[in-house]
Amino acid sequence: MTNKLLLCFTFLFVICGSISGQEKEDKRILKADEKYKQYSFRPAIDIYEKVRSEGYVNSDLLTKLGDSYYFNAEYAKAAEVYGELVQGSDSILGADIVFRYAQSLKTIGSYEESDKWMQEFNKIAKKLELNSKAGYNYLDKIEANSDRYEFKEFKYNSAYSDFAPSFYRKGLIFASDRDTGNLARYRHTWNSRDFLDLYKINADSVSTNRVVKIDVLERRLKNNGDDLTGKEEKDDKLPKKKNRINSRFHESTSTLTKDGNTLYFTRNNFIDGKRYEDEEGFTRLKIYSAEWNDGKWVNVVELPFNLEGFSFAHPTLSPDEKFLYFVSDLTGGYGNTDIWKVEIVGDGTFGNPINLGGNINTQARETFPFISDSDLLYFSSDGHPGLGGLDVFTTKIAFDDYSQEVVNLGKPINTEFDDFSYIIDDSTKQGYFASNRPEGLGLDDIYAFVETVPVPIDCIREITGTVRDKISNEVLAGATVKIIDDENNEVSTTLTNSKGEYRLELDCSKNNFVRALKDGYIASEVFLPKSDGKPKTVDFYLERDVVTGGFGDDLAKLLQLSTIYFDLNKYNIRPDAEIEIQKVIAAMERYPSLKIKVNSHTDSQGRDEYNLWLSQQRAQSTVDYMISMGIEKERLVGQGYGETMLINECENGVPCSASKHQLNRRSEFIILE
């Protein structure tokens, strides 16, 4: 990339060595240093190289010359100059110089040498607690992700720089510094190229297959689609100059709302028709918006979250259009430029910028974000392990989770050169990106592609839980638990252990069902939509398909309920008994034909006649409670048996403990039908 849109981003330059008296007196060096300070790298390079050819070389000159080449994307020359610097310098090199040297080596295919310097950078970064993304098996990973794209023809490139495509109605918008024949030509001194404007392709029926500036009105085009904007015809409907998107300076990197009525784009800080310089003398990049009205773009305004002294660029919208993502060198970031987001509140109001964090942002450059409808964030970086220069990466950011794996898209999207401004349509798998690879027509070219095999984005979610009987709450060992996708295909399966527990993993980037099954029970399943990958507990409570019992069986035992006990001389329902009776009620609701008889008993303490009366009260209180919970009285019978059915030796006259007497004060639920 020719780095035009990085024009005003602030970079950390480490100046090695000192300036001798002879250097201070060299007016050429002073002039080059001034150009360098102003990011006018092309004039600075010309002067530094002239002085260097005369044999005047030191670490300060080599540092600035190497940086000038690096930030102008001339990586082969940068590698040469940095190589001379590291070989001849006795001082400790700064982390940024080591990093740029390693990146420059990578772009010319010197991967082994690049890895050596990345290891050196990691040592420095660890001491400085910088955020390092270096890894030494990254080439294998990149190779595994390669060959997933097929390139298509894109016939709209020029001999200049064409990049930053974005979807626009039925066509594209992109940035270019192509020669449009205007009477006035404006150049910037970063690389001595023309300033950028926004162009559109296929945006309307008249300009089909033609490239025209975005401000051009349909009726100002000839039938063959030629652009007449070079002629300043009088036209009341043409936006006034100060209200047009394209100005005398940079415009680039745009994103359009789905209704087509709001455009966000990047521009040099341009106020009241004049370029605005901050206190340091720099013209920063800002994000602007424009509104579509009556067939033209109007109301071009700077967004309020732009701050003076910093640059804001490369806007893109989240799929729900609630957030605007962008790139900035704001304080509080991780590197030269980071990806941030801001909430779109509405009515021209925005929230505060939020950094996406250290998993996505590095100590280097993250830039050109784009978010697909499937919540995949694509961006370019020279901080994550890549092939050299800027590479395109992707990561899943659904549910505001920015901790997922960052994946290099591999070849042929990425090369040892700058590859950037990637966009894709999820529905067609067609997309575009830009690169400064040498086989292109211009300095930067747009490439069209079709994604043939999706890049694997691992989103693994752990699902755990237990399977129990719905009525008895008994854990069910040996139950089958399956993961089923939304096309009813079985993805994985397992069995519950002796504690009724299971564990499975699923792809959280897809919709899934978790299904539990066991013989004698009705299967149950839970739908799990796409998620952020956080672990989830899913417990199942299965219903029996039949009650496996018959006339005279105790339903409580079949359901493995706890025994219904009563206090001494009491017939009210205790709280612990209420819980178990609720399970009997659930069974009767599940099986409408079920009828039961409540048999209640007492211990042997007290007179026999009293105990018979007490047990009848206990049976009736149980029946009354169940009726109050909605069970029809015709399905219930209650009978007390006093002390006639003791379950132990505690008869009259036999000494027993209180706990043994308690066992006899009970109710049973006998199946009648």
**What residues contact residue 420 under an 8 Å CB cut-off, 6+ apart?**
1, 163, 367, 368, 380, 390, 392, 433, 434, 435
Domain 460-544 fold:
Immunoglobulin-like (2.60.40)
CB 161 within 8 A of CB 193: yes
SS3 readout for 254-311: EEECCCCCEEEEEEECEECCEECCCCCCCCCEEEEEEEEECCEEEEEEECCCCCCCCC
Stated pTM of the model: 0.63
Helix segments in 402-529, DSSP class H: none
pLDDT tens digit sequence for 257-281: 999 999 999 998 765 555 556 565 5
Q: Alpha carbon 436 to chain centroid distance? A: 28
> How much is the pLDDT for 129?
55
Question: What residues are paired with 445 via a beta bridge?
Answer: 435
Rg (CA), the chain: 38
Question: 564 phi and psi, to 5 degrees?
Answer: -85, 110
**What residues contact residue 577 under an 8 Å CB cut-off, 6+ apart?**
564, 565, 566, 667
pLDDT tens digit sequence for 462-503: 899 999 988 778 899 999 999 998 888 899 999 999 999 999
pLDDT tens digit sequence for 331-376: 999 888 999 999 999 888 999 999 999 999 988 889 999 999 988 9
Residue 381 and residue 138: Cα distance in Å, rounded?
14
Amino acid letter, 2: T
Q: How many residues does the chain have?
A: 673
Average pLDDT over residues 597-606: 86
Give the Cβ contact number of residue 486 at 10 Å.
Answer: 11
**What residues contact residue 38 under an 8 Å CB cut-off, 6+ apart?**
189, 281, 282
The angle subtended at Cα 128 by Cα 125 and Cα 134, nearest 5°, is 15
Query: Hey, which bits of 139-223 come out as E strands?
Result: 149-152, 162-168, 171-176, 197-201, 211-213
CB 594 within 8 A of CB 551: no
SS3 readout for 328-357: ECCCCCCCCEEEEEEEEEECCEECCCEECC
Domain borders along the chain are: 4-130, 163-402, 460-544, 555-671
CATH superfamily of 555-671: OmpA-like domain (3.30.1330.60)
Domain 163-402 fold:
Neuraminidase (2.120.10)
Token pair belonging to 139:
């080439």
Domain 4-130 fold:
1.25.40
CB 435 within 8 A of CB 415: yes
Q: Which residue has the tokens 């910088």?
A: 130
Whether pLDDT at 181 is above 80: no
pLDDT tens digit sequence for 80-104: 999 888 887 656 677 788 888 888 8
SS3 466: strand
Share of the chain above pLDDT 70, in %: 80
Average pLDDT over residues 246-261: 89
Q: Could you tell me the pLDDT band of residue 225, with boundaries at 50, 70 and 90?
A: very low
CB 477 within 8 A of CB 181: no
DSSP letter for each residue of 599-629: EE---S-S-HHHHHHHHHHHHHHHHHHHHHT
> How much is the pLDDT for 216?
75
